[in-house]
Structure 1
């Protein structure tokens, strides 16, 4: 059972973010399954459950990445990560920040939690001298696209597929 709610909850005025720790892994692994469940309708190529997108523990341990959690009091209500990636040889800048693992407890959606997480991730990237941020989102995921556009993101490349 997921550790989140489906009813809209009032957000306290003391929402905070902090770096995730390995002690947060049980909740973060549930968040990951929430992401998989949400994205499954957008991608018919996903294997049957259980699947995992991330090695969250490794991301927590890396010096070149940061996993952030959003908190309402002590309760973890959102997550995201930023990781330094090397760009292709033919583009600039040579390194960029890549965002992923964006999840907000359904009871807290639409209340600025994702913005708070993204602000913390972008601050981490800026402090490391990175000048570009990228992420991936399914083209049919309109709510996520709107959230990213509000933070200044715009489409760069559309990957297409077909079966043969």
Structure 2
């Protein structure tokens, strides 16, 4: 399957909430909370959709990363059941981590439900490490949250193999 990503906005709240409430049946965010997060200058949200179907949202993810700060949090991520298993969750996470890097973040944190091994495994593959457990964090289910952290390396640019440096008149 092929997907495209775009920046999410407040106009996407209804589509995001349809996924949110079907994915997180007992602990979904409220529409008001989601709307406020989407409108915040400190967050960066993406939505995913099939090519050329911008309004057919099949996944979303959000990052809290205030500019000038060194820490960021993955706020939420969800993919419709029909779109799971095709790498979309990883693509969303990769893009959020890139955004965090671009904002100068050195550590990204998240919480994952202890009863969600698929998400947990994705985060481990992305380089996140477990650092703590928050007992009974997810309510009303009483499920523990595993707190995870990723150390973000700054972007590096190098010359491609076989490419020579040249001196211009101005640099001599």
TM-score by length of 2: 0.69
Q: Distance in 1 between matches of 2:29 and 2:84?
A: 24
Which protein is bigger by CA-based radius of gyration?
Answer: 2
Task: Kindly provide the CA deviation profile for residues 36-73 of structure 1, in whole angstroms up to 9, marking residues without a partner as x.
Answer: 22xx4xxxxx6xxx863872222222121111111212
Q: Is the 8 A contact 1:79 1:117 kept in 2?
A: yes
Q: Is the 8 A contact 1:16 1:70 kept in 2?
A: yes
Question: How far off its partner does 1:100 sit?
Answer: 2.3
Looking at secondary structure, tell me which structure has more strand per residue.
2
User: Corresponding residue for 2:61?
Assistant: 80
Q: Distance in 2 between matches of 1:101 and 1:69?
A: 12
Q: Is the 8 A contact 2:44 2:62 kept in 1?
A: yes
- Aligned residue for 2:65, secondary structure, equals strand
User: Corresponding residue for 2:107?
Assistant: 132
Q: Distance in 2 between matches of 1:120 and 1:20?
A: 13
- From 58, 69, 85, give the equivalent of 2:36: 58
TM-score by length of 1: 0.72
Alignment RMSD: 2.2
Q: Which runs of 5+ in 1 are unaligned?
A: 1-10, 41-45, 86-93
Q: Is the 8 A contact 1:64 1:83 kept in 2?
A: yes
1:8-157 equivalence runs, <5 A: 11-12=1-2, 15-37=3-25, 40=26, 52=30, 55-73=33-51, 74=53, 75-84=56-65, 95-157=70-132
